[in-house]
Amino acid sequence: MSGKMCSSSNSIIQAQKLVDQLRVEANMERFKISLTAADLVQYCQEHRRSDPLLTGIAASSNPFKDKKTCVLL
Amino acid sequence: MLASASPLIPEMATQEVQLNETLAHLKTESETLKSKLEEERAKLHDVELHQVAEKVEGLGQFVMKTRRTLKGHGNKVLCMDWCKDKRRIVSSSQDGKVIVWDAFTTNKEHAVTMPCTWVMACAYAPSGCAVACGGLDNKCSVYPLSLDKNENLAAKKKSVAMHTNYLSACSFTNSDMQILTSSGDGTCALWDVESGQLLQSFHGHAADVLCLDLAPSETGNTFVSGGCDKKANVWDMRSGQCIQSFETHESDINSVRYYPSGDAFASGSDDATCRLYDLRADREVAIYSKESIIFGVSSVDFSLSGRLLFGGYNDYTINVWDVLKGTRVSILFGHENRVSTLRVSPDGTAFCTGSWDHTLRIWA
């Protein structure tokens, strides 16, 4: 086979792979954003109280925040 | 005199025509499929995420400051990862050093010098007993961490992954036994740590793969990768198949991170935007950008509830985004050069950034 034929058949292998890949993706079951986005929102809402960076937990319970020093009078 | 430019042998001429016809046919089919995909995705675009989130309360002012600064690297910090114990951190640098820190005290617990510079990837093992790293050496190596400070870590080094170009990212899976890697050679790969055996390889990116993230364990065996081909691909770890692909960024994707529920993922790109992709709607559902932000995003991560998205940028800042409403809630200053890596701690109490200014900072 000449060099030209080799590269043609390589291109075909590549193109076939692309078509196969696109077929897999096209057959996927998809849902409307109104439904899926509602789930994303719900997840945030359900977990917001246990999100320290969101609620800003007190220095006493966050090991990275320095506790205020006590002064003994 | 030879006749024209066509092949001398008649059979070859016919074969070549046939090949070209097949090629043209395949190209048409792929164009048709691509259009069909766009159509299907567009049908589901009935509403925007921020519209669904209209009723959600807005976020107040955030006060986040640098609480610790980790100094010790001699050059740009390229990558970092948290230990599951929520206090230890591993970081890697352009100078070839990998350091394990206690973030509470800022003490260095271990240090290893790699045989290469530009250690672009590092990861903590789930057990906390080992770290993995690699970069320009094209490999991913695992170092067991010893309790004996005098022990030479480099002696116990185990080479696990071998790529044909630089290692850009690595992550242990659910256990210390397997590592997932991404590389400048355009592939991702899953390796058995003990034997160094390649378990699965993932082909599909058309250029360097720069980042990856594993889906939260409840969601099953998938991971997402991002690359210089502007694509984010979702992969089935068992079959090696690319199951979803997203191409909306306008430049390299430097970072990808799953939303905590596993139903979406965020990406950060050199096009100065972060984006959110919904996996069940199979499309981009939000863009986090501002006209004033013109520098690339190197690294992104979510807060525990998924409400906040933190982005480290090449303009030295960290932008904090309201994921649901699409607005910026805060901008953090402190680093004196590019932010190259950013991870929220396992219990969500803080996040850590690494920078080209040689330091790491813990923010809370």
Domain for residue A6, yes or no? no
Bridge partners, B133 (sequence order): B122, B141
- Structure confidence at residue B11 (pLDDT): 78
- The helix-helix angle for A3-26 and B10-43 (nearest 10°) equals 20
B positions 143-182 inside 8 Å of A (CB): none
The residue with greater pLDDT, A63 or B267, is B267
- Structure confidence at residue B19 (pLDDT): 85
Mutate which of A36, A39, A55, A65 to test chain B, going by most B C-beta atoms within 10 A? A36
Domain for residue A16, yes or no? no
What is the distance between the alpha carbons of residues A66 and A73, in angstroms, rounded to a whole number? 21
- Structure confidence at residue A18 (pLDDT): 87
Verify whether the Cβ–Cβ distance B53 to A22 is below 8 Å.
Answer: no
Domain for residue A73, yes or no? no
B55-90 pLDDT, tens digit per residue, is 999 998 888 999 999 999 999 999 999 999 999 999
For residue B217, report the phi and psi dihedrals to the nearest 5 degrees: -55, -30
A7-41 pLDDT, tens digit per residue, is 777 888 888 988 998 888 888 889 999 999 999 99
pLDDT over 70 (residue B3): no
pTM to 2 decimal places: 0.91
B14-44 pLDDT, tens digit per residue, is 888 888 888 899 999 999 999 998 888 888 8
CATH number at residue A31: 4.10.260.10
Residue whose entry in the numeric block shows the structure tokens 């330091």? B359
Residue B51 CB contacts under 8 Å (≥ 6 apart), including other chains: none
What is the distance between the alpha carbons of residues B195 and B177, in angstroms, rounded to a whole number? 10
For residue A50, report the phi and psi dihedrals to the nearest 5 degrees: -100, 25
- The region, left, alpha or beta by phi > 0 then psi within -120 to 50, assigned to residue B324 is alpha
B87-107 pLDDT, tens digit per residue, is 999 999 999 999 999 999 999
- Structure confidence at residue B147 (pLDDT): 73
Residue whose entry in the numeric block shows the structure tokens 């164009």? B31
Mean per-residue pLDDT, B122-132: 97
CB B90 within 8 A of CB B121: no
Verify whether the Cβ–Cβ distance A65 to B362 is below 8 Å.
Answer: no
Structural domains of chain A, count: 1
User: Nearest C-alpha of chain A: how many angstroms from B177?
Assistant: 30
B48: nearest CA partner in chain A: A33
- Structure confidence at residue B8 (pLDDT): 61
- Structure confidence at residue A3 (pLDDT): 62
What percent of chain A has pLDDT above 70? 79
B156-203 pLDDT, tens digit per residue, is 899 999 999 999 999 999 899 999 999 999 999 999 999 999 999 999
pLDDT over 90 (residue B1): no
The helix/strand/coil state of B135 is coil
Q: Which of A30, A64, A66 sits opposite B281 (nearest CB)?
A: A30
Domain for residue A8, yes or no? no
What is the distance between the alpha carbons of residues B55 and A36, in angstroms, rounded to a whole number? 16
- Structure confidence at residue A4 (pLDDT): 64
Return the exposure string of B225-246: e unless at least 16 CB atoms fall within 10 Å of the residue's CB, then b: bbbbbbbbbbbbbeebebebbb
Structural domain span for residue A55: 24-63
Domain for residue A19, yes or no? no
- Structure confidence at residue B2 (pLDDT): 47
In single-letter form, the type of residue at position B164 comes to T
**In the numeric block, which tokens belong to residue B303?**
């807060």
Largest CA distance in chain B: 85
pLDDT over 70 (residue A73): no
- Length of chain A counted residue by residue: 73
What is the distance between the alpha carbons of residues B251 and B268, in angstroms, rounded to a whole number? 10
Residue B340's closest CA among B259, B213, B254? B254
B57: nearest CA partner in chain A: A45
A positions 11-70 inside 8 Å of B (CB): 11-12, 15-16, 18-19, 21-26, 28, 30-41, 43-48, 50-54, 56-57, 62-66
Q: Please, which pLDDT band fits residue B46 given cuts at 50, 70 and 90? A: confident
Mean per-residue pLDDT, B284-313: 97
User: Nearest C-alpha of chain A: how many angstroms from B158?
Assistant: 34
Domain for residue A35, yes or no? yes
Mean per-residue pLDDT, B266-276: 98
**Eight-class DSSP state of B291:** T
What percent of chain B has pLDDT above 90? 83
Contacts of B204 in chain A (CB under 8 A): 21
Residue B144 CB contacts under 8 Å (≥ 6 apart), including other chains: B129, B130, B153, B156, B158
Domain for residue A43, yes or no? yes
Mean per-residue pLDDT, B334-360: 97
CB B224 within 8 A of CB B234: yes
Domain for residue A32, yes or no? yes
CB B108 within 8 A of CB B99: yes
B15: nearest CA partner in chain A: A5
User: Nearest C-alpha of chain B: how many angstroms from A45?
Assistant: 8
CB pairs under 8 A between A and B: 181
What is the distance between the alpha carbons of residues B77 and B94, in angstroms, rounded to a whole number? 7
- Structure confidence at residue A60 (pLDDT): 72
Mean per-residue pLDDT, B267-281: 97
User: Nearest C-alpha of chain A: how many angstroms from B244?
Assistant: 6
User: Nearest C-alpha of chain A: how many angstroms from B210?
Assistant: 22
For residue B203, report the phi and psi dihedrals to the nearest 5 degrees: -110, 140
Return the exposure string of B101-120: e unless at least 16 CB atoms fall within 10 Å of the residue's CB, then b: bbbeeeeeebebebebebbb
**In the numeric block, which tokens belong to residue B7?**
């092949």
For residue B362, report the phi and psi dihedrals to the nearest 5 degrees: -105, 130
